[in-house]
Amino acid sequence: MSAPARVLVVDDSPTMRGLITAVLSSDPEVNVIGQAGDALEAREAIKRLNPDVLTLDIEMPNMNGLDFLEKIMTLRPMPVIMVSTMTHRGAEATLAALEIGAFDCVGKPAPGELRPFGDLAEKVKAAARTQRQYSQPAAAVAPPPSVADFRVGRKIVAIGSSTGGVEALIAVLQKFPANCPPTVITQHMPPTFTKSFAERLNRLCAPVVQEATDGARLEIGKIYLAPGGERHLQVSGASAPCCRLIDRAPVNGHRPSVDVLFDSVAELAGRNAVGVILTGMGRDGAAGLLKMRHAGARTLGQNEKTCVVYGMPRVAHELGAVEQQLPLSAIGEEILKMTAARKEGTE
């Protein structure tokens, strides 16, 4: 058995620190080695205790969590899990943290919540195991092709991601031109965060990015992100494909589930689809991607070296669901190659 993950809990609220500590301490593979009430205390504790993982509040006195995270990633890169309020403002700040380099995020619990902090312990253990090189600078993003340079075919793109998916999706979608193929995405993310993330992607990318709504028609130049928490995203409608939000129990522990999305794309589009599985914990999406490949779709997986967590892509690769494994920097271009119209007509 490997040594327990050593965690430092940073939050200005003693009550919240105690709750996080209690949740983490209930897992024998996690060891909370210290607590800190602000960035100054945390800095000294990091030097003294050398933790494997940090949980970090965003709103703190003396120095807020985002500023402290930037200093950590510059001076002492390490896995950090952000703990955020489940508000629009909290979501915006957390997404910024994930872009800076935070490993993942969890929402602060609402009063009376039965399972506060959800899978925080699993995220902490995954963070402690990660081989990610936090000190590597982000690669420069090349501009996407112009509308005139890309002739879109008839394929639908479906993408699934989880831990590390914020950075990964930005890297992929910034390669898309304004007339990209219709694209549907399930990213594991708390409720209220997906709307802010869709808005952020819309500002950063050439196509229109929006949170998916029930009945929204799939159109060229549009990207649809599954809303977090309540329903699954599917696609349906042979003559006029559209998004469907389905009330159903969690699948693989997730709602929305990547498998549910990929299953529906396999049934609707078959060979006229491209499936992509990016960084993430667990196995969600692997079976659905295999179904897509069996239906004739092209399939891609992110390679181990560029994943924050090589979980979902690993399982998909082992199942034979992945046609090609590629570094993150190459996936956007490969999707465009697979979905471009042929010279003699469209696919």
Kindly name the residue from 11, 52, 104, 188 that is annotated as catalytic.
Answer: 188
Burial class from Cβ neighbours inside 10 Å (0-12, 13-18, 19+) for residue 224 reads: buried
CA neighbor of 186 nearest in space, from 240, 251, 123:
251
Distance CA 47, CA 76 (A): 10
Active site residue 149: no
Active site residue 284: yes
Distance CA 270, CA 156 (A): 10
Listed in sequence order, the residues at least 6 apart from 175 whose beta carbon sits closer than 8 Å to its beta carbon are 141, 142, 144, 332, 333, 335, 336
Kindly name the residue from 84, 162, 196, 264 that is annotated as catalytic.
Answer: 162
Looking at residue 324, what DSSP letter applies? E
Active site residue 236: no
Distance CA 202, CA 220 (A): 15
CB 252 within 8 A of CB 259: yes
CB 279 within 8 A of CB 313: yes
Which residue type, as a one-letter code, is found at position 150? F
Pairing of strands 324-326, 5-10: unpaired
Handedness of CA 84, 89, 92, 93 (dihedral sign): negative
Could you tell me which residues are beta bridge partners of residue 328? none
Kindly name the residue from 52, 57, 263, 284 that is annotated as catalytic.
Answer: 284
Enzyme catalytic residues: 162, 188, 284
